[in-house]
Amino acid sequence: MRHRKKGRKLGVSSSHRRALGKNMVQALIDHERIVTTWEKAKQYQPLAEKVLNLAKSGSLNNVRRVRTLVGSRSLENPVTVTEVSGEGKDQVKKTRTIARTTLQKLFKDLGPRYLAKDDRPERKGGYTRILRLARRRVGDNASQVIFELTAATWTKSE
């Protein structure tokens, strides 16, 4: 009996589950939306929420805590910012990279998205959402979901 046993085993060893969680959260940070199974998304949603909550304050202690929780790997698409200075003929556009790793993107791009701005209050939780898909996976008939960030660029209503 599994009374009062927390978490899912997912059919793998404990070290594999830990690595799976790190990889899933890093992929979520990198792509901001991933397709996975319902069981994996429900298992690792609290880890993703904790990491995003730590990213709101950029203290060195939180950077170290996040690094031990999920690590840091190179992004597939580095985050760039375009700055414009001057007007008319003197206008100059400069593009610079602000994030090359998942840790940098988390603290320089994703964390500030959830802080308070002029038009919206600071978000206290609910940084991720799980949306069930109608189709099931072909190989093992597993139920699939979209696991995404709530403040993703395509979900903003501006």
Of all residues in the chain, what percent are helix, strand and coil, respectively (each to 5)? 40, 25, 30
> Which of 66, 62, 35 lies closest to 130 in space, CA to CA?
35
Say yes or no to pLDDT of 152 above 80. Answer: no
Secondary structure element (H or E) that encloses residue 19, with its range? helix 14-31
Strand, coil or helix: 4: coil
Give the C-alpha separation, 102 to 17, whole Å.
Answer: 20
- Band (pLDDT 50/70/90 cuts) for residue 153 is confident
**Domain annotation for the chain: domains and CATH numbers:** 17-153 (3.90.1030.10)
Q: What is the pLDDT of residue 158?
A: 42
pLDDT digits (tens, 9 = 90+) for 32-90: 999 999 999 999 999 999 999 999 988 999 999 999 999 999 999 899 999 998 888 88
Q: What is the pLDDT of residue 139?
A: 93
Per-residue confidence (pLDDT) for residue 66, from 0 to 100: 95
* Cβ pair 122, 114 in contact under 8 A: yes
Collapsing DSSP to helix, strand or coil, 52 comes out as helix
Structure confidence at residue 58 (pLDDT) = 86
pLDDT given for residue 155 in this prediction: 66
Instruction: Give tens-digit pLDDT for 117-137.
Output: 888 888 888 999 999 999 999
16-24 long-range contacts (CB < 8 A, ≥24 apart) are 20/44, 21/47, 21/70, 22/69, 22/70, 22/71, 24/48, 24/147
pLDDT category of residue 156 using cuts at 50, 70 and 90: low
Pick the more confident residue, 36 or 7.
36
SS3 147: strand
Whole-prediction pTM value? Answer: 0.87
The H or E element that residue 78 is part of is: strand 74-85
**Contact criterion met (CB below 8 Å) for 69 and 49:** no
